[in-house]
Chains A and B, each alone.
Chain A
């Protein structure tokens, strides 16, 4: 679909909307209908295994991750980093079995679930919970697995991590997200809409995972060389940082991309103006990262799976707004982020006043002219994500050699760690904790 418009000074601007079928670069960061990518159910069979992960500087190193057994085929996936996002329902009992297929040198493995009241069983009680023994060290007839059962009493965002030698095993990759969906629509709510908690003010349109972590490759090399005894965490020095198990720019690729077989989750949130996006924010590692959100403030409505409420039933009336939030190890937060172009002061669609409004368009800006004369194309250098037009959904002439990475004319807002050295992968820029939220024209299909 192509429309031509005359802007205020008579220059023709092409505004068209590109249908994204088959577009290579930009893909949705969410599952079907804006849902989080993961495994839904109430019984899960996890397997701890050793595998390899790939970093954006072209390096690779040994990792330990949770794979999951498929209910239908019976096959177990490769280990993945982070572990599978488990999606369960409030008040429905959950059972998770853990089989330890790590090499014997790794020792026992276990899972702890902060925020849940867990009953665990296995052959071995470790310092934090019952542990699964490596199958390599047991005869076939002996079952060394561990079983964890709990009934989540509150919806929300939770984290699970290894509870055995946790400094080593979490570093190696044994961490994942647990999402508890509400059992029913909150009172006053719309059954067709999505809610994070049992209150209407936790409504959202799209959600995605934002699990932040880091790694020190020297530790992984020592594990690979069978020198676990030489690992010394007092000299810990991470040089790789991850969102949902990948570094930038690998986070921009699709979910389940073939060349990242053990890192299935991306971090590529996209939305239409006016939508509410739920960011399930998790501190998966051991360091604190101040994540900084361009484009608009976010609102923190819950921490550790509990709404920020002055009293029960009040909803998130104690929610706080900010541009930066620290990822605290072992802690989760639920953030609501939205965008309408409200304070931009000009019509983001390049409309004239008698054009119809777009869905969720901020009406007071409608028809307001673009406030400056843009320099000529050859007088400026365009950033990689500039579409050629300042308008949402727009496109324009790009200089020769420009990659044209913004196929649908969206607005890219960088969400990144403000500890700027973390924007590298092993000293290579760009890398690490960079991500983008893309606000797309309402006609651009997202999923």
Chain B
């Protein structure tokens, strides 16, 4: 059975999208029956530049992913970029993930999902660094020992559409990032979560859940972002920032928000968790620093790491989440609503651009159900 769900929070968009979405969804299922094609989750994704407003009002340029509203890349501006990008879901019965990527930036991009094999990968892409005027795909060009890899997978050039297919997509929680010049592009915001269950309502074998949430930890260095957006980053004439060795983040975020923004005060949105309800928390670190997610007043049960189910679960009130790591944990609600559990970085990144009090502090909330 095809099962495609989209976890965007904007409920007013939802009904409109569902109608169009269902149209596509049914069409795909039909194709599957007629053509004998494997079931696939398919997404149309833009990558483009935007300005992200930080909690202190400063605007920081970012490059992020956004879903195309009508899946055809025909309408200009038919997408909204977010950092992190939207969570893409691959259904339990989908064997394949297909992403059509439209590049609205001024330089080549590519995609890479850590832990999944890109089936149609015709990369890596090599260039004659630093001129970057010549490229080769696949193996190192024969006899050329100065060429450097610029992209882990095949590139999508500015203005073009590229296709990326992951067949035999494994269940779990995974981080998708740009595969091009990652020291530059990833920190600009080119990352999003990709999730797949083993079956409906089960993250892994014998790991059922009632509700789920995704938590992405990340940081932003506005000086580097500004240099990248202005073209004064890297091995270029007039560079103000030579490399990411100088990374010194000023903003510390969870799901694109810093304390005390409204969204972070209930990072799981409007959710009711009754007594004994199991909340699946998909943790990802899309930043460059190690973070230590910690909760107060309860324990988490850790079930998987990088999409690999542990043989035995482990109870912890905090754990190490290094850069690009994913961890799946279950929080069991010990009482009925309302309750609030702090979830924060035990490495104490509690400032916004050096000013107290802010950064990586959020709450998981269970609200009273609204029966109206």
Contact = CB atoms under 8 A, between A and B. Distances in A.
B353 interface: yes
A218 to B, nearest CB: 13
B356 A165 contact: yes
Interface string A310-326: 11000000100000001
Contacts of A165: 350, 356-357
Contact of B354 (A117, A171, A233, A306): A233
A127 B357 contact: yes
A221 to B, nearest CB: 17
Contacts of A234: 248-250, 351, 353-354
Interface residues of A, number: 36
B122 interface: no
Interface string B339-372: 0001010111111011011000100000000000
Contact of A330 (B292, B314, B351, B354): B292
A112 B317 CA distance: 12
B218 to A, nearest CB: 15
A291 to B, nearest CB: 14
Chain B interface residue count: which class? 20 to 34
Nearest to B342: A128
Given A165-B356, A234-B353, A127 B361 contact: yes
A94 interface: no
Nearest to B361: A127
A157 B361 CA distance: 25
Chain B interface, DSSP helix/strand/loop, else mixed:
loop
B331 to A, nearest CB: 14
A166 B350 contact: yes
Contact of A128 (B250, B296, B319, B320): B296
A135 interface: no
Interface in B269-321: 290, 292, 294-299, 312, 314-320
B320 A288 contact: yes
Interface in A322-372: 326, 328-331
Given A127-B361, A232-B354, A306-B315, A118 B297 contact: yes
Closest 4 CB pairs of A and B: A330-B346, A232-B354, A167-B348, A306-B315
Given A114-B294, A168-B356, A234-B250, 19 more contacts: A112-B296, A115-B299, A117-B297, A127-B361, A167-B351, A232-B354, A233-B354, A234-B354, A287-B347, A304-B315, A311-B312, A318-B312, A329-B292, A329-B348, A330-B292, A330-B294, A330-B346, A331-B319, A331-B320
Interface of B: 248-250, 259-260, 290, 292, 294-299, 312, 314-320, 342, 344, 346-351, 353-354, 356-357, 361
